[in-house]
């Protein structure tokens, strides 16, 4: 279990709503972790390539070497921008945290769950609302990039 998933409450999992929040939380948390690693990985690749370009002059590298690394840096930045990795991590992390908070409220029968007649139904509605909000924001950001 990843460190960001350790404090997710253990729900009984009896209702479909509890299964849904478990599935969605783990998916968003996993996607956040992957986006963060990809963003950092591409950034480190770019920094290393820039450093090697500077060093290539000192070591009399072939004439094509520095431009090839420059092209690699440009390609990496294009991929990072095209995939929206800078925006993906905070969006996925925020959604995972909202789902975690909702799970804790549900598990402790607190907040909106304190007097709810049908707690699992309310949980399902909240999980769908949180996921829908994230999806709408993602679509909006995606459409904005295309404009």
Q: What is the pLDDT of residues 53-111, one digit of tens each?
A: 999 988 889 999 999 999 999 999 999 988 888 888 888 999 999 999 999 999 999 99
Q: What percent of the chain has pLDDT over 90?
A: 68
Q: pTM of the prediction?
A: 0.80
Q: Which residues are CB-contacts of 77 (< 8 A; sequence separation ≥ 6)?
A: 42, 46
Measure CA of the first residue to CA of the last residue in the chain; give whole Å: 40
Q: Which residues are CB-contacts of 99 (< 8 A; sequence separation ≥ 6)?
A: 21, 24, 25, 28, 127, 130
> Is residue 19 within 8 Å of 99, Cβ to Cβ?
no
Q: Which runs of consecutive H residues, i.e. helices, occur in the chain?
A: 16-58, 65-82, 85-107, 119-146
């Amino acid at each position: 279990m990843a460190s960001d998933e350790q404090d997710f409450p253990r729900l009984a999992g009896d209702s479909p709503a509890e299964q849904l929040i478990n599935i969605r939380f783990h998916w968003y948390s996993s996607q956040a972790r992957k986006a963060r690693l990809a963003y950092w990985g591409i950034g480190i690749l770019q920094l290393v390539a820039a450093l090697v370009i500077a060093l290539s002059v000192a070591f009399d590298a072939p004439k094509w070497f520095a431009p090839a690394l420059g092209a690699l840096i440009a390609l990496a930045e294009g991929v990072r921008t095209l995939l929206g990795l800078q925006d993906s991590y905070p969006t996925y992390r925020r959604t995972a945290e909202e789902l975690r908070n909702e799970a804790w409220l549900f598990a402790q029968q607190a907040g909106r769950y304190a007097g709810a007649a049908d707690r699992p139904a309310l949980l399902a509605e909240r999980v769908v609302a949180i996921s829908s909000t994230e999806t709408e924001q993602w679509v909006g950001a995606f459409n904005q990039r295309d404009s």
